[in-house]
Amino acid sequence: MELRHPSLFEPQLTDEVISFFAKHMLDIYRDINYLLSTDDDSNYGRGTSIFDRTRNRFLNLIVRKQCPVDVHLTNGSLKFIFQIGNASIRFLKDDFEKPKKKKFLMQQIQSFSLFPLDDHQPHFWRFILNEPKTLDDEPLVVFAGYNLANDVVAYWDSNSITDINHIHLVEPETPASVELGSPLVEDLDIEDKDSIAVNN
């Protein structure tokens, strides 16, 4: 099935809007991993801190109306669901390609429909924070729309964001050696002798 851009299903889900939330998720991920990097910290502690801080950040942005579009908070509990246009959205930290939190990704059909369901139409949306798999990788946020069969039909990822502030270490490059000449050093004793001779 061909994956399409989210804005084809919900016009307000533009690159600007999606990347606005994705940047916050990436910033929080990097901050938490920097702050909680001692021997006393664990993956569990980092994971819960990332979730809690992301939830609080999104909540504050939505309540203070600091988002680039009109966003409605539909569930402010730990479930945390918000809506942009007709898109019902949640977030999580998982592996998009091999999800472990499958219940979080699944949407149950609440009632029987009298009309056939459209397999090509997303019915729920998820921001998914993917941790780096190697030291050379960067964290990645995927924004995906799922149909009622839990198949991805709309896709966007943060690789398209160009203005993310992060440090990427590259292999150090040793500069080429340069041959320097001998330093010019004046003999202070000669100058002192000349000045003494002139003064006498």
Q: What's the whole-model pTM score?
A: 0.75
Token duo for residue 41: 């910290």
pLDDT score of 2: 76
How do strand 87-93 and strand 124-130 relate by DSSP bridges?
parallel
- H or E stretch at 25: helix 15-35
pLDDT score of 192: 56
pLDDT score of 167: 47
SS3 192: helix
Residue 128 burial (CB < 10 Å; 0-12/13-18/19+)? buried
Distance, C-alpha 122 to centroid of its chain: 23
Condensed to tens digits (0 to 9), the pLDDT of residues 167-197 reads: 444 455 667 777 777 777 666 665 555 555 5
Residues of the chain short of pLDDT 50, as ranges, are 108-112, 165-170
Positive/negative CA dihedral, 14, 17, 22, 23: positive
User: Pick from 47, 133, 51, 46: which is nearest to 98 by CA?
Assistant: 133
**Does residue 193 come out as left (phi exceeding 0), alpha (psi in the -120 to 50 range) or beta?**
alpha
- Please give the single-letter amino acid code of residue 189: D
SS3 46: helix
Q: From residue 178, how far is each of 33, 118, 133 by CA, in Å?
A: 41, 69, 41
In angstroms, rounded to a whole number, what is the distance separating the alpha carbons of residues 46 and 48? 6
CB 182 within 8 A of CB 134: no
pLDDT score of 133: 86
pLDDT score of 99: 82
Token duo for residue 31: 């901050």
pLDDT score of 169: 45
